[in-house]
Amino acid sequence: MSESFQLGGRGVVKGRAEGIALVADATLSFWGEVDAVSGKVIAVGHPLEGCSLRGCVLVIRSTKGSSGTPLTLDLAKLEGTAPAAFINVEVDSLAALGCIVNQIPMITDLEQDPFASIRTGDRVVVDADQGVVIVTRDC
Amino acid sequence: MVLTPEQQAILEGSQGPYLATCMRWLVEWGDVMGARRLIRVDNTHALLPVPNQMARGARRETIERYVEGLREACRHRTAPGCYCTLHVNFVTLDDITLKENDPEQVGMQREIADMAAAAGFIPTFTCAPYLVGNVPLKGEICAWTESSAVVYANSILGARTTRHGNESSIAASLLGLAPEFGVLLDENRKGTLRVDVAADLTSPTDWGALGYVAGKAAGLGIPVFNGVRRPSQAEAKQLCAALATSGGVTMCHIAGVTPEAPTLEAAFHGDVPAPSLTFTNETLREAYQSLRQRTGDDIDSVILGCPHASIREIAEIAALLRGKRVAQPVRLWIDTARGTKGGADAMGYTKIIEDAGGCILCDTCPTNLRIPARRIVTSGFKQAHYARGMVGAEVIVARLEACIRAALAGRWMGDE
């Protein structure tokens, strides 16, 4: 059994992708806090420490920190370890740039709090062209 | 975004496919970030780095495709009238025996750097271009990478730059344009949260602690510091670096110091809120403690110069090291720009530092090189924050004098 629901939002970087949600009400710098080759979060004490971002739908508050975020996403994309899509509460110019260059869809301004409505492990379709997120959860 | 006919033509390929791609990056980025037009850029600080250890274990094809992208950028000229400086970041071009400084990638970086210089970039190779000649004036429109330098340019110099990444900085350098959004516009330079400072800040690292706490609270916002004295250049550098470590800060205001914020009212464009945070001596102590978790006191690395050291900081370090010896097996690194190192060589500081067993490292830093370390003492909150994950070391963040004492003793000796 599974349940499915849809949330409206604002497509920031166009495109459509799906993956398994990785959710943390936190910020993240890709340079310095993500290893591009393994795709894993290496930041000590971060709620996602040790998690792989490969193909995930990354639900975080925003990116932060280093200007190396696009560069790290470039390397991760080439290595196949980048997230499939971003759902962010706020849009950092560096995540936006990295997503544009690497054709990773990003959506923001969800009609519900993403940290309350989406759980790690949910299957999520991010359709930034239509401005919707479709969440499917096993139950 | 509305483009001029000339910009539209470039987007459609009038100047070739690479510049069309650059224009597309800037236009799409501007659309996403709410820009309405592209504006002329006076000054850029661009990133053209080979990945080195950032791509440790990557497939050959990844490195080759990535580096070919850098070569492609360098086959074009920087925009006329635009002051473009360059950073490389992940290798040192100096001859240094260090297996992490992969000779093959150093060779690729030399090739890219030569091509970039021929294309019009000035090879400053630093995270702190404002210390080696790229010092924009108030109001100058910039396109800078290096998150700490972005905060410094906006907040201390009164120049204007959003947080740029590698592609946007390259595009801005070649086209002489940037999308007009964020802090490029007056109305977006208004403070978003007030930080009252009650602590006694007595060193640059103390200012790093302030930035580390305030950056976390600010997120992508604009913190305004109230009740602090004028920082030194080194103190301002630490503040700015830490704000863009725990947070995604583009600028801050220091009331009475930031060029456009002679008063608290000016920083908030007249609308002064209650403080969101009061930074006390207790907050200061807790900030240090947050980057000091460790299982012992013996150390193997001391890292100074994050962001890259100024000549004044190198002079201070030399004065503390004169006639002394760093304990074995501690490696004492002082990271700086090669322009500053050239000055230090001429002024005799390098010899004093090297005679004491220290090493001046240009173009990069030990964390970017991922030099193995077990326990690091550093004066930079930014270095301390990232070194834990990037190097896998324990860290102790401390004021300069305590860092030097630890280097000489081979173990953490405490703050006093």
Q: Are A122 and A4 in contact (CB under 8 A)?
A: no
| B120 CB-near residues (< 8 Å, 6+ apart) | B77, B78, B84, B173
Tens of pLDDT, residue by residue over A53-94, are: 999 999 999 999 999 999 999 999 999 999 999 999 999 999
CATH number at residue A99: 3.50.30.10
What are the structural domains, with CATH classification, of chain B? 5-186 (3.30.499.10), 190-289 (no CATH), 293-409 (3.30.499.10)
Whether A94 and B163 lie within 8 Å, measured CB to CB: yes
Query: 0.95 exceeded by the pTM?
Result: yes
Interface test with B, best of A66, A75, A81, A106 (most B CBs within 10 A): A66
Domain count, chain A: 1
* Chain B interface includes A12 (CB < 8 A): yes
ipTM, 2 dp:
0.98
Closest CA to A37 of A84, A75, A68: A75
> How far is it, in rounded angstroms, from Cα A5 to Cα A57?
16
Beta strands per DSSP E along B249-294: 253-254, 277-279
The number of CA neighbours under 13 Å toward the Cβ of B170 is 28
Whether A97 and B47 lie within 8 Å, measured CB to CB: no
Paired sense of beta strands B38-40 and B177-179, if any:
antiparallel
Q: Which amino acid is at A4?
A: S
Residue A139's pLDDT is 82
> How far is it, in rounded angstroms, from Cα A62 to Cα B384?
22
Tens of pLDDT, residue by residue over A86-122, are: 999 999 999 999 999 999 999 999 999 999 999 999 9
> How far is it, in rounded angstroms, from Cα B43 to Cα B112?
20
Q: State the Cα torsion B109-B112-B115-B117 to the nearest 10°.
A: -60
Residue A72's pLDDT is 98
Domain residue limits at A106: 2-138
A66 classed as catalytic:
yes
> How far is it, in rounded angstroms, from Cα B166 to Cα B46?
6
Per CB-CB distance under 8 Å, the chain A contacts of B246 are 64-65
Closest CA to A85 of A137, A115, A49, A128: A128
CA closest to B22 among chain A residues: A101
Residue of A38, A52, A66, A117 with catalytic role: A66
Whether A97 and B168 lie within 8 Å, measured CB to CB: yes
Per-residue pLDDT of chain B (416 residues; tens, 9 = 90+): 999 999 999 999 999 999 999 999 999 999 999 999 999 999 999 999 999 999 999 999 999 999 999 999 999 999 999 999 999 999 999 988 899 999 999 999 999 999 999 999 999 999 999 999 999 999 999 999 999 999 999 999 999 999 999 999 999 999 999 999 999 999 999 999 999 999 999 999 999 999 999 999 999 999 999 999 999 999 999 999 999 999 999 999 999 999 999 999 999 999 999 999 999 999 999 999 999 999 999 999 999 999 999 999 999 999 999 999 999 999 999 999 999 999 999 999 999 999 999 999 999 999 999 999 999 999 999 999 999 999 999 999 999 999 999 999 999 999 98
Residue B165's pLDDT is 98
Residue A75's pLDDT is 98
What is the token pair recorded at A131?
């401005």
